[in-house]
Structure formats: structure tokens, C-alpha cells
């Protein structure tokens, strides 16, 4: 950029004489005479100078950094208030569906709300639903677990033992069944002894938990009890199910319990003579659910940006922060882009995943169908007009408004090798936003399961922001990010108090705009693939 001082040679060149003996060349008293004799020249010189000055001024003004609002209009066009209005509607939906928006409660009504908004605002995209089957685990009464014999012990639910999620397809009642201890439940050998008994198993690292439980069931065990290592004080509430479950895959029929280390010791010491009674009330239902996918009609198909958020909640709460905040921010971003007439260079696809809380089933289904050609009974009728290799990247928005939030950006270096370089680039786009606004932020791992996993696992770079769930804020984080130390980032995580009152407005404001910045920037980038490969800088 030029400064006015650089301009003087230009002025000199307008008159050789002025350069040779102009007023700045001498301090003689003759200056007034000189000025008088040159006054006509001077007037024209003055005019030229004035014109140049005005022109220069306009040019300089044009090159000066403009306001943040001028440079990032999309961010400013997004109104947090509108996201809150959507969240109010989601809360109403939850209230009308047993205070939940889970697969079997208010998910379908939430999806209707999203589709209604897309239609009402005439968003330029083809709206698809993509159906799939999700196993849904419920447990409507407390289980009982008792050791019988010379020493009778009634164990305490949640303290001594738990029924693991998806551990049993039907309620069960076992009375006085013998025990069998198993050292390695990954191999079928020498397990004949479990037939007709309750298998007490120390989980092995050699194969997945589900495989161990399922093998015991196949060998005739009437229940499986996993003994936790001494490191844990409480029994596990994990899922006993194939991580990547799809329709047709097996599920556990017999009950699966987790017990603490000390309960395990009691069971093992009495194993040969011990008998137990078990009463469970868990069941697995197969429910139909779906993703809502809005495939944009503008922009380069080969450089598609998929923006995703999950729309379901857990069964035990309305899920307004988790993850209504991400899903409704994504909705409002799309409605805002439509309102301001944004035309993406790269195609935008918005996806609201179903059954995330049951193990990312919606996004896994999407990847399985598109990346691996998997078909269920609906897929042929539900073609999305989208090919996996057209997807350049995925942005995922989960919880964006945790009350005791930290602004978190996913660490692209954690992504598998095929998706790493691109995920690092996406991370940097988010970081640019926080740096520009001088907001504190923290890089967090990408391992914590959310809907970007099926993308990075299939070679598509991904990234996103979030504000934290049940983890406790450290004193260091409190100093850097504010809020309350020694308290969870979201006290209402997966609880019935996750309502609109649980939304942190400052967090929602910052994070939804971070999301908007990334969506508008990456969908406007030229040579998006080269940028993601680290070959070029970001160019709009
Ligand atoms: C309603 O929610 C409560 C609490 O989560 C649960 O115990 C009950 O089974 C649910 N009822 C239905 C019909 O889903
Ligand atoms: C990101 O992840 C990589 C690999 O796991 C790790 O080495 C690095 O320290 C992480 N960065 C931050 C800022 O946490
Ligand atoms: Zn959740």
C-alpha cells in the first residue's frame, strides 16, 4: 500500500522546473516573486495535486482493511435468537414425547420440524430421508442380582453391578443357576463348562467385548458377568453390541452384567459351588429411524462439503444442548445462507443424523451405503444423488452451548492417515476464527465418538467445534476460559434438565458463528481439494 510521501516524485515529474528550483529547493526571499510568477502554473499544479490526492485517497481507502463485518458478512447475518427459537420448538416437541427426542420418542417430530423449515424457506436443495433400523435399548425397572448358598449376598444395583446396555433382548429371570469362571472368552476352547451356567468373565483385550459375550451365549451360557479391573470403582454401563451394528447383525439375547472387581472376587471364590439369581428388565427393540439429508443444487458436485449434526437425543432427556444446539445451528446456518442469496462454489449437503445416541448409527449408515454400496430394503428407492468420492470434507457440530463451556476445536492430527492432512487444514480454519476474534479456545482430541468418525474412517477429512459434555473443568482451564472450576462443562449432559435454560447464550453465539465461518469459507474455497491436501493456501 502507498503512503502520500511516495507520491512526491510523481508531482515533481509534472514540471521539471518545479523540481529544479521549487520552493523546497531554496530559502531565498524571492519565493513570493517566484510564487507570483508561477501562480498560473501553480494553480494547475494544485489542481493536479488535488485530483491525484482524491484519487489516491479513494484507492487507499479501498485497500485499507475494512471492518470485520464487511469481510465476514455470513457470520454477522446469522442470528443467535433464531437458533433459540428453533430450540424452543425442539423443547416443545420433547415435552410432547415423554420429554425426549430419541429414536422412539420425538426424533421423527424433530425431523418434521427441520423439513418444514427447509420447505418454508425454499432452500435450494433436494430433501431426502434415508431410513435404517436402529436397535433401541430400554430398561424400565431395576435389575436384581443375588448370590445364594452358605453366604447369601444381595448385590446393590449401580454400586456393585449393572446390566450393560444392549445386554439382553428380553427381560429375564434366572433362579439358582451355577457359575463358571472363564479366563479367556475370545477362544472357543474348553468352554463347554459354561453351558447352562452363568459365565463369570474377566474381559480380554484380545477381541471386542461383544464377541466375548456372544461366544459365551453361543456356548450355552444363560448370562454373562464381566468383572471390571480394580482400577474402576463402579460397574460399567457400556454397550455390549457390535460397534458398527447394521440390520441383520446379531445382538445379545441373554443378560450381560458388569460387576466391580470385589464382587468379581466373591463370585470367583465361590465359583464351583456358588449359585446366583438374576432378574433383568432390559429389552432391545428394532426401531425404524432415518437421516434427513438436504443435497444442495448449486456448486461443484466433486467438491461437496457435508455439514452434519445429530438430531436425536438420549431417551432420558430432551437434548437441547446435546445436540439440539448443533442441529439447530446447522439449520439456521442453511436458512441464513438461503436468505442472503449465498451461492456456494462447492456443493453443500446438510445432514441431520438419526440414532447418534445409539452409537452413530445414522452417520455410519450414510457412509456404509455411499462408501461401501451397502443396501437395505429402502436404499434403492432413496438414492441421494451423491457419491462418496464427491465428498471433499465433513463438518460436524455437536454440542455448541454448554453452560460451563470451553470452545473446543477437534485436533486434525488425530484423524487416520488418509484423512489427516485435510483434517488439520479444517482445524486451522476454525482456529483462524477464534484468533481473529481473540476468543480463547482449546484443541481437543477427535477420538471422542461423534458423527465425523464414519467420514475419517473412510478417508474423508473432517473437523468441528464443540463446547464439552460431562467432563470436569480444571482450575487451569477456568483461568484460561472462565466459568466454574471443578464443575462439569455441562451438568445436564444426558439428563432431563438439558432444556433451553441449559443453553449458554455466549457460547451459542460464538460457536454458531464459528460454524458459519467454516461452512461459508470452505464452501466458497477455490481448489478445495488442493487446499485440503496442503498444496495451496485458502483462496476464496
Ligand atoms: C418415558 O420416560 C421415562 C423416563 O425416562 C421412562 O421410564 C418411560 O418408560 C418412558 N415412557 C415411554 C412410553 O416411553
Ligand atoms: C493433536 O494430536 C496429536 C496426535 O495425537 C498430538 O501429538 C498433539 O499434541 C495434539 N495437539 C494438541 C494441541 O492437543
Ligand atoms: Zn448425547
Task: Give, as one character, the DSSP assignment of residue 197.
Answer: S
Asked whether residue 243 falls in the same domain as residue 302, the answer is no
Verify whether ligand 2 is closer than 6 Å to residue 443 (CB atom).
yes
Cβ(338) – ligand 2 distance below 6 Å: no
Among 263, 280, 297, give the residue marking a domain's end. Answer: 280
Q: Are residues 88 and 207 in the same domain?
A: no
**The one catalytic residue among 332, 356, 480, 537:** 356
Q: What is the CATH number of the domain that holds 448?
A: 3.40.630.10
Measured CA to CA, the distance from residue 407 to residue 363 in angstroms comes to 24
144-148 and 275-280 beta bridge pairing: antiparallel
pTM for the predicted model, two decimal places: 0.82
Ligand nearest to the CA of 142: 1
Residue 357 has pLDDT above 90, yes or no: no
pLDDT computed for residue 6 by the predictor: 36
C-alpha 117 – ligand 3 centre gap (Å): 24
Instruction: Provide the 10 A C-beta neighbour count for residue 297.
Output: 11
Name which residue sits closest to atom 5 of ligand 1, judged by CA.
316
Residues 407 and 392 in one domain: yes
Q: Is residue 539 part of a domain?
A: no
State the residue for C-alpha cell 485497500: 63
Within a domain: 369: yes
**Does residue 434 lie in a domain region?**
yes
Looking at the structure, do residues 158 and 101 belong to the same domain, yes or no?
no
CA atoms of 20 and 237, how far apart (whole Å) = 91
Q: Which ligand is nearest to the CA of 413?
A: 2
Answer yes or no: do 223 and 272 share one domain.
yes
Average pLDDT, stretch 447-464? 91
pLDDT band at 23 (very low <50, low <70, confident <90, very high): very low
Shared domain for 333 and 265, answered yes or no, is: no
The verdict on 217 and 194 lying in the same domain is yes
Residue 324: per-residue pLDDT: 84
Over range 159-184, report the average pLDDT. Answer: 96
pLDDT at 21: 37
Poorest-pLDDT segment among 9-23, 102-116, 224-238: 9-23
Active site residue 356: yes
CA dist 313 and 498 (Å) reads 10
**Mean pLDDT of the chain, nearest integer:** 88
- The alpha carbon of 292 and the centre of ligand 3 are apart by a number of angstroms equal to 18
Looking at the domain assignment, is residue 431 inside a domain? yes
The band of 271, judged by pLDDT with boundaries at 50, 70 and 90, is low
Which domain covers residue 248, as residue numbers?
141-280
* In the block, residue with C-alpha cell 462447492: 346
Number of domains in the chain: 2
Q: Is the pLDDT of residue 35 over 60?
A: no
- Among 240, 258, 280, the domain-final residue is 280
Spatial CA neighbour of 450 closest among 524, 400, 375: 400
What pLDDT does 318 receive? 79
pLDDT of 34 > 80? The answer is no
Question: Does some domain include residue 25?
Answer: no
Q: Summarize the confidence of residues 283-296 as an average pLDDT.
A: 96
Note the pLDDT of residue 2: 37
Task: Note the Cα 409 to chain centre separation in Å.
Answer: 10
Q: What is the pLDDT of residue 52?
A: 67
Report the nearest-CA residue for atom 12 of ligand 2.
443
Residues with CB under 5 A from ligand 3 (ion): 322
Judging by DSSP bridges, how do beta strands 144-148 and 153-154 pair with one another? antiparallel
Q: 76-131: per-residue pLDDT in tens? A: 999 999 999 999 999 999 999 999 999 989 999 999 999 999 999 999 999 999 99
Output the nine-digit C-alpha cell for 426.
479444517
Radius of gyration of the chain, Cα coordinates, nearest whole angstrom: 32
The pLDDT value recorded for residue 234 is: 94
DSSP letter, residue 223? E
pLDDT in tens, 366-388: 999 999 999 999 998 999 999 99
Is 446's pLDDT higher than 60? yes
Tell me, yes or no, whether 338 and 245 share the same domain: no
pLDDT tens-place string over residues 499-521: 888 889 999 999 999 999 999 99
Residue with the larger pLDDT of the pair 345 and 53:
345
- Residue 349 clears pLDDT 70, i.e. is over it: yes
Tell me if 5 is assigned to some domain. no
Nearest to 179 by CA among 217, 224, 228, 145: 224
Distance of alpha carbon 530 from alpha carbon 228, whole angstroms:
48
Angle 215-268-186 from CA coordinates, rounded to 5°? 20
Amino acid at each position: 500500500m502507498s503512503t502520500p510521501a511516495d507520491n512526491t516524485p510523481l508531482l515533481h515529474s509534472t514540471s521539471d522546473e518545479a523540481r529544479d528550483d521549487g520552493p523546497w529547493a531554496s530559502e531565498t526571499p524571492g519565493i513570493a516573486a517566484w510564487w507570483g510568477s508561477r501562480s498560473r502554473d501553480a494553480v494547475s499544479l494544485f489542481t493536479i495535486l488535488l485530483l491525484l490526492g482524491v484519487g489516491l485517497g479513494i484507492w487507499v481507502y479501498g485497500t485499507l482493511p475494512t471492518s470485520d463485518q464487511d469481510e465476514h458478512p455470513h457470520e454477522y447475518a446469522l442470528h443467535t435468537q433464531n437458533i433459540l427459537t428453533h430450540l424452543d420448538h425442539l423443547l416443545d416437541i420433547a415435552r410432547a414425547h415423554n420429554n425426549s427426542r430419541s429414536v422412539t420418542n420425538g426424533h421423527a417430530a424433530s425431523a418434521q420440524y427441520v423439513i418444514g423449515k427447509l420447505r418454508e424457506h425454499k432452500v435450494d436443495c433436494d430433501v431426502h430421508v434415508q431410513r435404517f433400523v436402529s436397535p433401541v435399548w430400554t430398561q424400565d425397572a431395576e435389575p436384581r442380582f443375588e448370590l445364594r448358598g452358605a453366604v447369601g449376598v444381595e448385590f446393590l444395583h449401580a454400586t456393585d453391578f449393572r446390566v450393560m446396555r444392549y445386554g439382553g433382548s428380553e427381560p429375564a429371570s434366572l433362579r439358582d443357576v451355577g457359575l463358571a469362571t472363564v479366563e479367556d472368552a475370545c477362544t472357543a476352547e474348553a468352554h463347554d463348562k459354561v453351558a447352562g451356567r452363568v459365565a463369570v468373565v474377566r474381559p480380554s483385550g484380545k477381541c471386542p467385548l461383544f464377541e466375548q459375550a456372544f461366544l459365551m451365549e453361543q456356548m450355552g451360557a444363560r448370562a454373562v458377568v464381566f468383572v471390571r479391573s480394580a482400577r474402576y470403582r463402579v460397574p460399567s454401563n457400556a454397550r455390549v453390541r457390535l460397534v458398527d451394528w447394521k440390520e441383520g447383525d446379531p445382538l445379545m439375547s441373554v443378560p450381560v452384567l458388569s460387576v466391580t472387581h470385589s464382587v468379581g472376587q466373591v463370585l470367583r471364590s465361590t465359583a464351583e459351588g456358588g449359585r446366583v439369581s438374576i432378574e433383568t428388565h432390559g429389552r432391545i427393540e428394532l426401531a425404524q429411524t432415518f437421516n434427513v439429508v438436504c443435497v444442495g443444487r448449486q456448486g461443484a458436485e466433486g467438491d461437496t462439503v457435508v455439514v452434519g449434526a445429530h438430531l436425536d437425543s438420549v431417551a432420558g432427556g430432551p437434548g437441547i444442548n446435546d445436540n439440539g444446539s448443533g442441529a439447530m445451528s446447522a439449520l439456521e446456518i442453511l436458512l441464513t445462507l438461503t436468505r442472503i442469496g449465498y451461492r456456494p462454489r462447492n456443493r453443500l449437503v446438510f445432514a441431520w443424523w438419526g440414532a447418534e445416541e445409539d452409537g452413530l448409527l445414522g452417520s455410519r449408515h450414510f457412509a456404509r451405503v455411499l462408501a461401501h454400496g451397502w443396501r437395505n430394503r429402502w436404499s434403492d428407492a432413496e438414492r441421494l444423488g451423491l457419491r462418496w468420492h464427491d465428498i471433499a470434507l465433513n463438518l460436524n457440530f455437536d454440542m455448541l452451548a454448554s453452560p460451563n463451556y470451553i470452545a473446543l476445536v477437534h485436533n486434525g492430527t488425530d484423524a487416520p492417515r488418509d484423512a489427516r492432512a485435510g483434517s488439520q487444514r479444517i482445524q486451522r480454519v476454525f482456529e483462524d476464527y477464534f484468533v481473529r476474534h481473540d476468543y480463547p479456545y482449546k484443541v481437543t482430541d477427535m477420538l471422542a465418538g461423534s458423527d465425523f468418525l464414519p467420514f475419517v474412517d473412510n478417508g474423508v477429512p473432517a473437523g468441528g467445534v464443540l463446547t464439552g459434555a460431562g467432563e470436569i473443568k480444571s482450575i487451569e482451564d477456568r483461568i484460561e476460559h472462565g466459568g466454574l472450576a471443578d464443575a462439569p462443562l455441562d451438568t445436564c449432559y444426558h439428563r432431563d434438565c438439558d432444556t433451553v435454560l441449559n443453553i449458554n447464550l455466549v457460547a451459542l453465539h460464538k460457536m454458531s458463528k464459528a460454524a458459519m465461518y467454516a461452512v461459508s469459507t470452505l464452501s466458497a474455497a477455490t481448489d478445495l481439494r488442493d487446499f485440503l491436501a496442503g498444496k495451496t493456501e485458502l483462496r476464496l
